[in-house]
Structure 1
Amino acid sequence: MHTDRTVGDVVSTEAGPVRGFVSRGVRVWQGIRYAAPPIGDRRFRDPIRPEPWSDVFEATAFGPCEPQSTNAAIPLGPDVRMDEDALSLNVWAPPAGDAGKPVLVWIHGGAYFRGASSQPVFDATSLVEHGDVVVVTFNYRLGAFGFLDLSSFSTAEQQFDSNVALKDMIMVLEWVQANIANFGGDPGRVTLFGESAGGGAVTTLMTVPSAEGLFHRAIAESSPATSVYGPERSADVAAQFIELLGLAPGDAAGARAASTAEVLTASDALFAQVPQRSPGTIAFAPVVDGTLVPEYPVRAFRAGDAHRVPLIIGTNKDESSLFRLMKSPLMPIEQATIRAMFDEVAAEHPDLDLPDEARISSAYTGLAPIQQNLGITRDFGFRMPTVWIAEAHSAFAPCWLYRFDYAPPMLKALRIGATHATELPYVWGNLAHGAKDITYKLGGRRTAERVSANMQHRWLAFAQGDDPVGLADAPVWERYTADARVSLVIDTTESAVADLDGELREAWGDHVLAFV
Structure 2
Amino acid sequence: MISVLLPAGAQAQMPAEIDQVLAEVENGTLAGSRENGVLVFRGVPYAAAPTGELRWRAPQPVAEWPGVRAASAHEPPCVQPVDTDSTVANFGGVNGAQSEDCLYLTIYAPEGVRDAPVMVWFHGGAFFLGAGHLGSYDGTANARQGVITVGVNYRLGALANFVHPVLEAGREGEPQGNYALHDSVAALQWVRDNIAAFGGNPENVTIAGQSAGGGIVTNLLSLPAAEGLFDKAIVQSGSLLLPDRAPVEASRIAREALETIGIGLDASADDLRNISAQTFAASKELRAGFFFTSDPKWKPSSTVAALRAGKEFDVPILVGANQGEGGFAAARTFAELAGDEGAPAFLYRFEHVPAFREAEWTKGPIHSAELMFAFDSIDQSSWGGAKADTDDRAVALQVNSCWVAFAKLVPGSRTIECADGFTWQPYLKGETARFTTSGPEMADGREYPDGPSKD
* Alignment partner of 2:169 out of 155, 162, 165: 155
1:259 aligns with 2:276: yes
Other-structure match for 1:302: 308
Counterpart CA distance in 1 for 2:121 and 2:14 is 25
| Range 425-434 or range 488-497, more displaced | 425-434
5+ residue gaps, structure 2 = 1-12, 83-88
Q: Is the CA contact (8 Å cut-off) linking 1:94 and 1:132 kept in structure 2?
A: yes
Shift of residue 237 of structure 1?
2.4
Structure 1 residues 216-365: aligned runs within 5 Å: 216-227=231-242, 229-231=244-246, 232-249=248-265, 251=267, 253=269, 254-266=271-283, 268-271=284-287, 283-319=289-325
Cα distance in structure 2, aligned partners of 1:386 and 1:256 = 38
**Cα offsets for 1:211-239 (capped at 9, x unmatched):** 01101011110114135532233223212
Question: The residue matched to 1:84 in structure 2 has which SS?
Answer: coil
Q: Which residue of 1 aligns with 2:391?
A: 447
SS of residue paired to 1:270:
coil
Contact 2:239–2:334 (CA under 8 A) maintained in structure 1: no
1:76 matched to 2:94 = yes
- 2:152 corresponds to: 138
Distance of aligned partners of 1:36 and 1:487 in 2 relative to their CA distance in 1, 3 Å threshold: same
Change (3 A) 1:433 1:99: closer
After the TM superposition, which of the residue ranges 284-293 and 404-413 deviates more from structure 2? 284-293
The aligned residue for residue 71 of structure 2 is 59
Amino acid at match of 2:399: M
Taking structure 1 as the reference length, what is the TM-score of the superposition?
A: 0.77
Q: Which residue of 2 aligns with 1:30?
A: 42
Question: Which amino acid in structure 1 is aligned with residue 336 of structure 2?
Answer: E
AA in 2 matched with 1:313: V
Q: 8 Å contact 2:91–2:129 — kept in the other structure?
A: no
Q: 1:412 aligns with which of 326, 335, 358?
A: 358
Query: Where do 1:482-501 residues align within 5 Å?
Result: 484-492=429-437, 493-501=439-447
Cα deviation for residue 72 of structure 1 reads 3.9
For 2:140 and 2:384, how far apart are their aligned partners in 1? Answer: 23
Which amino acid in 1 is paired with 2:137?
Answer: F
* Conservation of the 8 A alpha-carbon contact between 1:288 and 1:294: yes
Match in the other structure for 1:431 = 378
The one-character-per-residue Cα deviations of 1:425-454 (angstroms, maximum 9, x if unpaired) are 1011121368x868875xx61111111111
1:186 has 2:134 as partner: no
Shift of 1:140: 0.8
Shift of 1:309: 0.6
- Give, in whole Å, the separation in 2 of the partners of 1:210 and 1:25: 36
Change (3 A) 1:181 1:420: same
**What SS class does the counterpart of residue 23 from structure 2 fall into?**
strand
CA distance in 2, matches of 1:2, 1:400: 47
Distance 1:200 1:217 in 2: 15
Partner of 1:478: 425
Does the 8 A contact of 1:255 with 1:263 survive in 2?
Answer: no
Determine the structure 1 residue equivalent to 2:213. Answer: 198
Check the 8 A contact 1:66/1:116 in 2, yes or no: yes
Change over 3 Å in CA distance of 1:500–1:250 after alignment to 2: farther
**Alpha-carbon distance change, 113 to 3 in structure 1, aligned in 2, over 3 angstroms:** same
Tell me, what secondary structure is at the counterpart of 1:285?
A: coil
Given the alignment, which residue of 412, 417, 425 partners 1:469?
A: 417
Equivalent of residue 458 in structure 1, options 384, 388, 402: 402
The C-alpha deviation readout for 1:134-162, integer Å capped at 9, x for no partner, is 11112110001111223575223898831
2:417 pairs with 1:403: no
CA 1:126–1:157: 2 relative to 1, 3 Å? closer
Name the CA distance, whole Å, in 2 between partners of 1:55 and 1:2: 25
Q: How far 1:460 moved relative to its partner? A: 0.5
**In 2, are the aligned partners of 1:8 and 1:27 still within 8 Å (CA)?**
no
Matched residues, number: 423
The aligned residue for residue 119 of structure 1 is 134
Q: Deviations over 1:327-383 (max 9, x none)?
A: xxxxxxxxxxxxxxxxxxxxxxxxxxxxxxxxxxxxxxxxxxxxxxxxxxx2xxx22
Residue in structure 2 matching 1:87, options 78, 103, 120:
103
Report if the CA contact (8 A) 1:102-1:133 is conserved: yes
Q: Which has the higher helix share?
A: 1
SS of corresponding position for 1:214:
coil
User: How far has the Cα of 1:187 moved from its partner?
Assistant: 0.5
**CA distance in 2: counterparts of 1:217 and 1:438, whole angstroms:** 29
**Amino acid paired to 1:421:** S
Read off the aligned partner of 2:158 and give its amino acid letter.
A
Alignment-derived partner of residue 6 in structure 2 = none
Moved more, 225-234 or 417-426: 225-234
Take 1:127 and 1:250, find their aligned partners in 2: how far apart are those partners? 52
Q: Deviations over 1:179-217 (max 9, x none)?
A: 000110000100110000000110110110110110101
Q: Secondary structure at the match of 1:251?
A: coil
| 1:394 correspondence with 2:339 | yes
Change (3 A) 1:437 1:294: closer
Percentage of pairs with the same residue = 30
Q: Matched residue of 2:377: which SS?
A: coil
1:355 aligns with none
Aligned mates of 2:289, 2:28 — CA distance in 1: 37
Is 1:39 paired with 2:57? Answer: no
Amino acid at match of 1:392: L
Is the Cα–Cα contact under 8 Å of residues 151 and 162 in structure 1 kept in the other structure?
A: no
Tell me the secondary structure at the aligned position of residue 419 of structure 2: coil
Instruction: Identify unmatched segments of 5+ residues in structure 1.
Output: 272-281, 320-377, 506-516
C-alpha displacement of 1:35? 0.9
User: Quick check: 2:353–2:361 contact (8 Å CA) kept in 1?
Assistant: no
Query: What is the rounded CA distance, in whole Å, between the counterparts of 1:486 and 1:157 in structure 2?
Result: 49
CA contact (8 A) 1:153 1:250 kept: no
Question: 1:418 and 1:35 mapped to 2: Cα distance?
Answer: 36
8 A contact 1:402–1:487 mirrored in 2: yes
More deviation, 115-124/308-317:
115-124
In structure 1, the residue corresponding to 2:160 is in which secondary structure?
helix
Query: Cα gap change, 1:157/1:128 in structure 2, threshold over 3 Å: closer, same or farther?
Result: closer
SS in 2 for 1:109: coil
Secondary structure of the 1:176 match is helix
- Against the structure 1 CA distance between its residues 469 and 230, is the aligned structure 2 distance closer, same or farther, given a 3 Å change threshold? same
